[in-house]
């Protein structure tokens, strides 16, 4: 089992870029397709605690259930928001990456570089053409 886990949605460009940056460090992560295999309530609570964010900060806002459920209203407890995320995993923002150096919501994908144990093995360019890592494996920005 890998020391790195990514909660991944292959339909998301940020998630795909993050996965490829992990692979560019020479590591094949454990990939959890969280829409098919959502975390348990306990796992979600642990991820939130490890990231140091609230359930509201992890909510994905530009998806259909967000509006339908009225989640823009600030009337729900953290526990209620977690319940909505578990019922509708598309509400969980992604990608979430867990490494020995920490757990982060990797938006933008280069947030990953702060918790990646191994350096990049070469240049990395995002799908949109943005260069993130140079030929020596160093962060560009």
Catalytic-labelled residue, pool 6, 12, 21, 91: 12
Annotated active-site residue 12? The verdict is: yes
pLDDT at residue 14, as a whole number: 96
Q: How many domains does the chain have?
A: 1
Is the pLDDT at 1 greater than 70? The verdict is: no
Interval 100-128 mean pLDDT: 95
- Helix or strand or coil: residue 91? helix
* Residue 18 near residue 109, CB atoms below 8 Å: yes
Q: Domain for residue 78, yes or no?
A: yes
* pLDDT bucket at 60, cuts 50 / 70 / 90: very high
Domain ranges, residue 65: 5-133
DSSP notation for 32-89: EETTTSPPPHHHHHHHHHHHT--HHHHB--SSHHHHHTTTTSTT--HHHHHHHHHHSG
Taking only the tens place, the pLDDT of each residue in 23-38 is 999 999 999 999 999 9
CATH of the domain at 79: 3.40.30.10
Q: Domain for residue 83, yes or no?
A: yes
pTM of the model: 0.94
Q: Domain for residue 46, yes or no?
A: yes
């Amino acid at each position: 089992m890998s020391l790195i886990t990514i909660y991944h949605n292959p339909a998301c460009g940020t998630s795909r870029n993050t996965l490829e940056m992990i692979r560019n460090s020479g590591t094949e992560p454990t990939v959890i397709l969280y829409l098919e295999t959502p975390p348990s309530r306990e796992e979600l609570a642990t991820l939130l605690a490890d990231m140091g964010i609230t359930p509201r900060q992890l909510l994905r806002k530009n998806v259909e259930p967000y509006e339908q459920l009225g989640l823009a209203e600030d009337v729900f407890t953290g526990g209620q928001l977690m319940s909505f995320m578990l019922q509708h995993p598309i509400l969980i923002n992604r990608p979430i990456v867990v490494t020995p150096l920490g757990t982060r919501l990797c938006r933008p994908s280069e947030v990953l570089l702060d918790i990646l144990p191994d350096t990049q093995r070469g240049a990395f360019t995002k799908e949109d053409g943005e260069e993130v890592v140079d030929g020596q494996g160093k962060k560009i920005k």
